[in-house]
Amino acid sequence: MTKKIKIFSLLLLVVMVMAACSDNNASGDSDADSGSDSGGDSKAANQLLKIGNDQEPAGLDPHKVPAHSSIRIYEKVYDSLLTFDENMELQPELAKEWEQPDDTTYIFTLREGVTFHNGDKMTAEDVKYSYERILDEETASIAKSYFDKVESIEVMSPTKIKFNLSETYAPFLSYVASTNAAIVSEKVVEENGDLMQVAVGTGPFKFEEWKPDNYVELSKNEDYYKEGQPKLDGIRYITMKDESARLAAIRTGEVHLTTLSSQSIPLAEKNDKLDVKGYQSTEYSYVGFNVDKEPFDNKKVRQAISLAVNRQEVKDIVWKGDAILSGPIPESMGKWAIDVSEEELYQHDIEKAKQLLVEAGYEDGFETTISTASTYPDMIDTAQLLQQQFEKIGIKADIKQLEWGQYIDTWKSGDHEMLVGRNSSGSDPDRSISFFFSTDGSANVWGFSNDKIDSLSEKGRTTTDKEKRREIYNEAQKKLIETSPNLFLVSPKKFFIVRNNVENYTPSANEPENFNETIIKQ
């Protein structure tokens, strides 16, 4: 009996030792892994830019995935025909030039000698395939509505392609320059079924690997069409969802670059190894009303609330001063934006607000609910501040914090009274106006319908003269502020925190991450 026990214990011991060893092996592996990251292949590692990404990418298909955590990765792998420079002016990318023989025809001449990362030549056939893929219902591309007016695409030669539109469509070139209109390779799509897990483009960086919940790594495209670019050997996007984790990582040098919210900026500024690079984003925070529901169906009520909002406080308290007043088109959109500081409804005026409520028949105020997302501290803070501001004109609002998925559902279904959120205005004013506020706009979840706005957005789409277009959108913005289906609050600054050995990198609203010239000084 005791012998048996002895043998059994011996066996157990052996098993335990083996288990311990195998454990060691496993952790040894990962050690080796991280070893090779930091110093193993020393030459490559020296110029590997490590970035703390605040979300795991949601897939890599440039035609389908709108998530920022994905865009920042696939925009480095793919190119579009055109692009924007930091002043929001169109610039050639894969198309070296373009012409417009008449209002509804565009001809692009492609750059010669551009190859995909798999070595295949990029030709007009690929461009045609990419746009057809976007327009195909089955792809369910987020860019489909950008190109609804495209009637046919003709390949004229391997380097010339013609787009025929059904009618004049002013935002066309802006949308061609969108990252979502990336040129992909038909062969790669067919080989892989879709582009969610693979990425083969013509951009400055090649996709290497994606370790789920860990990192995505890109490497330098040696054959990039811009001579001598990029300078880096690669980029690694490491998923770090927690702000404090990103702060710690950038402080210790575990990553070279990351994003932080305004609250953490003073901490980064104190560290002399870090540079804080801010830029005015194309986002703005807003209060949306469900104009189908009482009392928000009454314009006077909405205007009264606009007067009750103290936008300066939103700027100072929620964004610690790092934001500017915004209309429907934020200031970073350059010439399209209007100066809203003198707008009557932007003046904080409690008396007038109360008077408007009396005129609307709500002299005793009313009760309502503000819905917002618990995921974003800035939204909760905005909601709390507004709740307190509304109280001054007798509006008693409860706050409902929703989990992100629930919030999106609520936003879509119009099942809300007041909603606090943040929008991005994209690159063309068409998005800021018709996408969100025209009667059939796909993001008009407010039940809002206004003939003037509808006719202005239609006119904006069909007017190609820039100055006239600007006047149209100026008028539309004033009308939106006056009818107030949303209250546009402030456009926040965004911040990149960069280790100070990273050189030649300047973020801007339109190009927050251009690393083509960036180097890491040792």
Partner 1 sequence: MSEIISRLKKDKVGLVGVIGVLLVLVMGFIGPLVTPHDPTEMYKSHTLEGPSATHWFGTDDFGRDIFSRVMQGARVSLYVGLISVGIGATLGFLFGLIAGFFQGWVDNVIMRIMDILFAFPDILLALTIVAVLGPSLRNTMVAIGIVFTPVFTRTVRAAVISVKEMEFITSARSIGVKTHKVIFKHVSPNILAPFIVQITLALSGAILTEAALSFLGLGIQPPEPSWGSMLNASRQYMEIAPWIAIFPAIFIIITIFCFNLLGDSLRDILDPKLNQ
Q: Which residues pair with 6 in a beta bridge?
A: none
For residues 132 and 391, which CB has a smaller minimum distance to partner 1 in the complex? Answer: 391
Supply the minimum distance, in Å, between the C-beta of residue 267 and partner 1: 6
The binding site for partner 1 (CB under 8 A) comprises 243-244, 261, 263-264, 266-267, 313, 316-317, 374, 377, 380-381, 383-385, 387-388, 398-401, 403
Contacts 24+ apart (CB under 8 A), 205-209: 205/76, 205/77, 205/230, 205/234, 205/235, 206/77, 206/117, 207/60, 207/77, 207/117, 208/234
CB 204 within 8 A of CB 224: yes
For residues 167 and 403, which CB has a smaller minimum distance to partner 1 in the complex? Answer: 403
Report helix, strand or coil for 353. Answer: helix
Supply the minimum distance, in Å, between the C-beta of residue 110 and partner 1: 48
Terminal alpha carbon distance of the chain: 67
Quote the CA–CA distance of 206 and 288 in Å, as a whole number. Answer: 41
Supply the minimum distance, in Å, between the C-beta of residue 138 and partner 1: 34
CB 383 within 8 A of CB 372: yes
For residues 207 and 411, which CB has a smaller minimum distance to partner 1 in the complex? Answer: 411
For residues 114 and 240, which CB has a smaller minimum distance to partner 1 in the complex? Answer: 240
For residues 349 and 475, which CB has a smaller minimum distance to partner 1 in the complex? Answer: 349
For residues 63 and 400, which CB has a smaller minimum distance to partner 1 in the complex? Answer: 400
> CA angle, 346 as apex, 343 and 347 as ends, to 5°?
100
For residues 76 and 416, which CB has a smaller minimum distance to partner 1 in the complex? Answer: 416
Supply the minimum distance, in Å, between the C-beta of residue 192 and partner 1: 36
For residues 259 and 450, which CB has a smaller minimum distance to partner 1 in the complex? Answer: 259
Would strands 215-220 and 205-211 be described as parallel, antiparallel, or unpaired? antiparallel
Supply the minimum distance, in Å, between the C-beta of residue 374 and partner 1: 4
Supply the minimum distance, in Å, between the C-beta of residue 241 and partner 1: 13
Supply the minimum distance, in Å, between the C-beta of residue 475 and partner 1: 36
Supply the minimum distance, in Å, between the C-beta of residue 493 and partner 1: 17
Burial class (CB in 10 A: 0-12, 13-18, 19+), 399: middle
Burial class (CB in 10 A: 0-12, 13-18, 19+), 48: buried
DSSP per residue over 161-221, as a string?
Answer: EEEEESS--TTHHHHHTSGGG----HHHHHHHSSSSS----SSSEEEEEEETTTEEEEEE-
